[in-house]
Amino acid sequence: MSLAKNVEFLRHFPKLNGFNGLGIYGRSISPGARSPLVEIDGFGTNPGALKMFAYVPEPLPRASALVVVLHGCGQTAAAYDFGTGWSTLAKRYGFALLMPEQQGSNNANTCFNWFNPGDVARGRGEAASIRQMVARMVADHKIDPRRIYITGLSAGGAMTSVMLAAYPEVFAGGAIIAGLPYGIASNVREALGGMMQSTSRPANKLGDLVRKASKHKGPWPKVSVWHGSADRTVNPGNANEIVKQWLDVHGLPGEPMSIGDVDGHPREVWWNADGETVVESYTITDMAHGTPLGLSGNDERYGAEGAFLIEAGISSSYHIADFFGLTDRVSPANEAAKPAPAKIVPSAATESLQSSDLAATLWSRTHKPVHQPKPAPREPKRRGIDVGGAITRALTAAGLMK
Instruction: Report how far apart, in Å, the C-alpha atoms of 277 and of each of 216, 248, 301 are.
Output: 21, 15, 25
Count the Cβ atoms, other than its own, within 10 Å of residue 337.
13
Look at residues 1, 136, 2, 122 and name the one whose alpha carbon lies nearest to residue 56. Answer: 136
Known active-site residue 154: yes
Contact 199/192 with Cβ under 8 angstroms?
no
SS3 call for 54 = strand
Look at residues 108, 98, 82, 149 and name the one whose alpha carbon lies nearest to residue 320. Answer: 149
**Torsion angle of C-alpha atoms 220, 183, 354, 381, degrees rounded to 10:** -90
**Torsion angle of C-alpha atoms 303, 309, 310, 316, degrees rounded to 10:** -60
Cis preceding linkage at 375, omega within 30: no
Look at residues 48, 89, 266, 68 and name the one whose alpha carbon lies nearest to residue 153. Answer: 68
For residues 34 and 51, give the distance between their C-alpha atoms in angstroms, rounded to a whole number: 19
For residues 104 and 117, give the distance between their C-alpha atoms in angstroms, rounded to a whole number: 19
Contact 185/195 with Cβ under 8 angstroms?
no
Contact 100/53 with Cβ under 8 angstroms?
yes
Strands 38-40 and 51-55, bridge-based pairing = antiparallel
Q: What is the DSSP string of 289-353?
A: SSEEE-B-TTS-B-S--BTTEEE-SS-HHHHHHHHTT--SS--GGGTT--PPP------HHHHHH
Q: What is the DSSP string of 138-179?
A: HHHHT--TT-EEEEEETHHHHHHHHHHHH-TTT-SEEEEES-
Contact 278/270 with Cβ under 8 angstroms?
yes
Q: Which residue in the list 35, 154, 224, 316 is annotated as catalytic?
A: 154
Give me the active site residues, please: 154
